[in-house]
């Protein structure tokens, strides 16, 4: 966690130099363990986590809002929460979303991961909240495969929908970009997907390719996989463009035919 905090401080420095109004970091930025048991052993409440406390200090000092995925203790002793925090420019945690859809896969010749064995699923979609870059709606990683969440966030006024992630390489190559662009197009929203990259341990490698997509489905910025020090991708959030797209191609739901989500 100390190492990851050092890397995130480097990203804060890069974001400040770039003139960014907010920094979006990946899912599980505090740590990715070698097993579920290790994840449970490492977890700390946010008020005790040196990683979260360090990012709050950075946000306060640089007056930079930070959106970051971390682990938190679960309700029981054998499970944890996969959450994303919004740390505002005062260093206060003002938003906390808990991942709803957990990553349980068993791909022949590929990864086998059972997140539900050690992570508690979230139970609610949280309304979008005001930020210096627009109204942000939070989701996490595997939530990307379920458009119901993003449609609900769009209906509640989201300008930006986030997907902090640690996608596997195999699923990332097949589905990452196409799903992110689809979520942008169907909600006419900006998509910000900060992604873990490279090898974490002998079991886990993440695809990378952090991406920012505009409401027309255009990829505005993209990083690669892990080569050298971590980097940031930047883009301008143009709310006039967002309104233009929504005005010119209105997506009127036929709730008389199917129920609203």
Q: Which of 58, 72, 81, 141 is catalytic?
A: 141
Tokens describing residue 80: 């944890």
Tokens describing residue 159: 């300008």
Residue 99 known to be catalytic? yes
Residue 141 known to be catalytic? yes
Q: Which of 58, 72, 99, 120 is catalytic?
A: 99
Contact partners, residue 203, CB within 8 Å, separation at least 6: 34, 35
Q: Residue 141: left if φ>0, alpha if ψ -120 to 50, beta else—which one?
A: left
Q: Which of 8, 27, 120, 135 is catalytic?
A: 27
Tokens describing residue 162: 């986030």
- Residue 201 has a CB neighbour count (10 Å cut-off) of 11
Name the CA dihedral angle for 46, 51, 56, 60, rounded to a multiple of 10 degrees.
Answer: 170
What does each C-alpha distance from 79 to 115, 165, 175 come to in angstroms?
10, 20, 29
Residue 27 known to be catalytic? yes
Contact criterion met (CB below 8 Å) for 210 and 233? yes
* Catalytic residue annotation: 27, 99, 141
């Amino acid at each position: 966690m100390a190492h990851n905090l050092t890397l995130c401080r480097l990203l804060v420095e890069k974001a400040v130099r770039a003139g960014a109004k907010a920094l979006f970091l990946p899912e599980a930025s505090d740590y990715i363990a070698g097993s579920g048991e290790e994840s449970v052993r490492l977890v700390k409440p946010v008020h005790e986590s040196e990683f979260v406390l360090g990012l709050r200090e950075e946000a306060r000092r640089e007056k930079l809002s930070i959106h970051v995925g971390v682990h938190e203790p679960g309700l029981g002793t054998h499970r944890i929460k996969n959450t994303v925090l919004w740390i505002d420019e005062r260093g206060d945690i003002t938003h906390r979303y808990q991942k709803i859809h957990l990553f349980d896969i068993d791909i022949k010749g590929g990864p086998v991961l059972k997140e539900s064995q050690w992570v508690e699923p979230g139970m609610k979609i949280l309304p979008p909240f005001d930020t210096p870059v627009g109204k942000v709606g939070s989701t996490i990683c595997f939530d990307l495969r379920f458009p119901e969440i993003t449609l609900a966030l769009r209906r509640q006024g989201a300008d930006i929908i986030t997907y902090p992630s640690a996608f596997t390489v195999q699923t990332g190559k097949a589905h990452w970009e196409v799903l992110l662009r689809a979520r942008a197009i169907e909600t006419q929203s900006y998509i910000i997907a900060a992604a873990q990259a490279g090898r974490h341990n002998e079991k886990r490698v993440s695809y990378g390719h952090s991406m920012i997509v505009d409401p027309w489905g255009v990829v505005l910025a993209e990083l690669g996989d892990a080569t050298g020090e971590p980097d940031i991708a930047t883009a301008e959030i143009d709310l006039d463009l967002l309104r233009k797209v929504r005005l010119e191609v209105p997506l009127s739901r036929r709730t008389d035919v199917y129920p609203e989500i």
